[in-house]
Amino acid sequence: MRQSLNNSLKFSVCTVILIAVFAFLAGSNDAFAKKSSKSAKKTKIKSTQVLQQRKAERLQKLYQYFPQYETWEQAEIYPYNDMAFLNNYDRTSIYEDFFKRRLLLERINDWLGVPYRLPGRSRAGVDCSNFVSIIVSEVLNMNIPAGAATQATLFRKIKGMDSLQFGDIIFFSGRNKHAARIGHTGIYIGNGLFAHSSTNHGVTYTLLSEGYYKERFRHGGRINGFDITTLAKK
């Protein structure tokens, strides 16, 4: 009888201890989960703040080198003082349309600060040719494949930097500045400025006059109405 009582008591004590251990572990896991969740929220907030700061800095570069955008940003109807912008402009370009010019910059600006990722195609990360493909799709409702070398074959070739105009796709060799193969792409804005997804800076605005890109520039490609019709059928 006494032995049975002792065994029962031991069992009760063990049960209490086990319950206490499980409760402690559950509480620890709950505390860890809350701490992890709080840490994740802080990281997300910080990441968002960094992205917004980068975007603001890059917009300032756009305002500095392409001041027309400040007028375009606010215009509700065609700004006729913008006609000077179209002097000597190739009217076959799809961006002869003012609203497409403004939309192109709006879409680019919406992606500013997104990090570079190969072969990314989302806000988590995007590479250069996917960035161009996405922007063209959003602005012109035209699907073009990723791959800088492939994109370089799709449009009418513009040979010199001096002949580039707003909206032209521009192509560069890769790390080897002497290579013929196209390895990088972006979208020309004007006044020597272009938008692209850079390996080091993500989606940003850069000057063509910067040595790295000036040395590697190969040619531009101009999108016209015929391109839209032809590529839409593919």
- Catalytic residues, which ones? 128, 184, 196
In 3D space, the residue among 102, 68, 97, 71 whose CA is nearest the CA of residue 85 turns out to be 68
Contact 188, 108 (CB under 8 A): no
DSSP notation for 57-101: HHHHHHHHH-THHHHHHH-SS--GGGGGGGTT--TTBGGGSHHHH
For residue 194, give the H/E element and its range. Answer: strand 193-198
Cβ(58)–Cβ(111) below 8 Å? no
Instruction: Kindly report the backbone phi and psi dihedral angles of residue 181, in degrees, each rounded to the nearest multiple of 5, phi listed first.
Output: -65, 135
List Cβ neighbours of 139 (8 Å cut-off, separation of 6 or more).
100, 103, 104, 107
Under DSSP, is residue 163 helix (H, G, I), strand (E, B) or coil?
helix
Q: Is 177 exposed, middle or buried (0-12, 13-18, 19+ CB in 10 A)?
A: middle
